Amino acid sequence: DVKVTQSSRYLVKRTGEKVFLECVQDMDHENMFWYRQDPGLGLRLIYFSYDVKMKEKGDIPEGYSVSREKKERFSLILESASTNQTSMYLCVSGRVADTQYFGPGTRLTVL
Amino acid sequence: TQLLEQSPQFLSIQEGENLTVYCNSSSVFSSLQWYRQEPGEGPVLLVTVVTGGEVKKLKRLTFQFGDARKDSSLHITAAQPGDTGLYLCAGEVDFGNEKLTFGTGTRLTIIP
């Protein structure tokens, strides 16, 4: 069974903290993505990666960075969390032209 | 980034009724996808349409891609409580660039 797992379902952090969101896929996919989902705004692409150590900015990369040291793992980093980064974060694995698989999401609250 | 506008934003109907939700944009898409998302879960791909005018059926769900590839519709026949969820459309403008533009979503509730 295809799996995309995210390290936490719920996370509460304080303003200014460094936050790591981890995503692991078991499908040997080259492409992995991070989106955030907010009511009324839909899903917005933060960063994506098409290979180990490769990354590309999406539509809203400000305040975020990513790390892809191994093919199966794609991490999203909030260097200094702010309240406007409170959101649902979704990791995706696979190519758009094929079938993409979403993780269950991490609901992050920044206080 | 041009958002895809979905309508209606919310829809609540009785079990057994038919419904249609819409996905519209001023942009042309090389492909368009429909997803369903249930509470606490990530979206799950339902269908991908790539040709203008294309119609695809998935059991009681019928998906249509507009002739100009700027819009799409999802029609559900005889809705069931299991159809409840958030329906999202997503379009890829440039084939192969791996960037999807997502719609704002239609939250559908089917009342038993």
> How confident is the model over A62-80, as pLDDT tens digits?
999 999 999 999 999 999 9
Cβ distance A42 to B95 less than 8 Å, yes or no, reads no
Dist CA B108 CA B88 (whole Å): 11
Cβ distance B31 to A97 less than 8 Å, yes or no, reads yes
Q: Tell me which chain B residues have a C-beta less than 8 angstroms from the C-beta of A48.
A: 98-99
**Which residue out of A91, A96, A106 would a mutagenesis test of the B interface target, given it has the greatest number of B Cβ atoms within 10 Å?**
A96
Which pLDDT belongs to residue A96?
Answer: 84
Q: Is the pLDDT of residue A42 over 90?
A: no
Listed residue (B94, B5, B100) closest to B45, CA to CA = B100
Measured at the alpha carbon of residue A41, what is the angle toward residues A102 and A57, in degrees to the nearest 5?
60
Which pLDDT belongs to residue B4?
Answer: 87
Which pLDDT belongs to residue B40?
Answer: 85
Which pLDDT belongs to residue B96?
Answer: 78
Q: Tell me which chain A residues have a C-beta less than 8 angstroms from the C-beta of B3.
A: 41-42
Q: Tell me which chain A residues have a C-beta less than 8 angstroms from the C-beta of B103.
A: 42
Residue with the two structure tokens 């199966």: A72
For B33, residues 6+ apart whose C-beta sits below 8 A from its C-beta are: A96, B45, B46, B47, B48, B49, B89, B90, B91, B92, B100
Q: Is the pLDDT of residue A61 over 70?
A: yes
Instruction: List the single residue in B with minimal CA-CA distance to A50.
Output: B98
Mean pLDDT across chain A: 94
Q: Tell me which chain A residues have a C-beta less than 8 angstroms from the C-beta of B89.
A: none
For A98, residues 6+ apart whose C-beta sits below 8 A from its C-beta are: none
Give me the residue from B45, B99, B103 closest to A100, CB to CB. Answer: B45
Which pLDDT belongs to residue A2?
Answer: 65
Digit-by-digit pLDDT tens for chain B (112 residues) are: 556 899 999 999 999 999 999 999 999 999 999 999 998 899 999 999 999 999 999 999 999 999 999 999 999 999 999 999 999 999 998 877 788 899 989 999 999 9
Q: How many CB pairs under 8 A join A and B?
A: 56
